[in-house]
């Protein structure tokens, strides 16, 4: 919540975000989460077709990192 307040004008400015501001930030966060989910699907597709070990390791690392972001964001949006 502090992040949302800070991005809507700062905690020190006295600005109180409206419900519309909150909804906008929530919609943006959900859109980013959807992008991460789509990216995970693309990584799965690439891994299935990847023949080179070095390239496969890079894709697996990217997938793991993306999955951590996804896992970190999802509970915050759902709760």
Per-residue pLDDT tens listing for the chain (79 residues): 455 555 555 555 678 889 999 899 889 988 988 998 899 999 999 999 999 999 999 999 999 998 888 788 777 766 6
Domain contains 39: yes
What is the number of structural domains in the chain?
A: 1
Domain contains 12: no
| Best CA proximity match to 71, nearest among 28, 42, 36 | 36
Domain contains 69: yes
Domain contains 38: yes
- Is the pTM higher than 0.85? The answer reads no
Domain contains 2: no
Domain contains 11: no
Domain that holds residue 27: 19-78
Spatial separation of the C-alpha atoms in residues 23 and 20, rounded to whole Å? 5
Tell me whether residue 29 is exposed, middle or buried, using C-beta atoms within 10 angstroms of its C-beta: 0 to 12, 13 to 18, 19 or more: middle
């Amino acid at each position: 919540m502090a992040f949302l307040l800070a991005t809507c004008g700062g905690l020190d400015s006295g600005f109180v975000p409206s419900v519309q501001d909150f909804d906008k930030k929530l919609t943006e966060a959900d859109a980013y989460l959807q992008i991460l989910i789509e990216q995970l699907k693309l990584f799965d597709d690439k891994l299935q077709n990847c023949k080179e070990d070095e390239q496969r390791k890079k894709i697996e690392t990217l997938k793991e990192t993306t999955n951590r972001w996804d896992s970190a964001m999802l509970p915050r949006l759902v709760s």
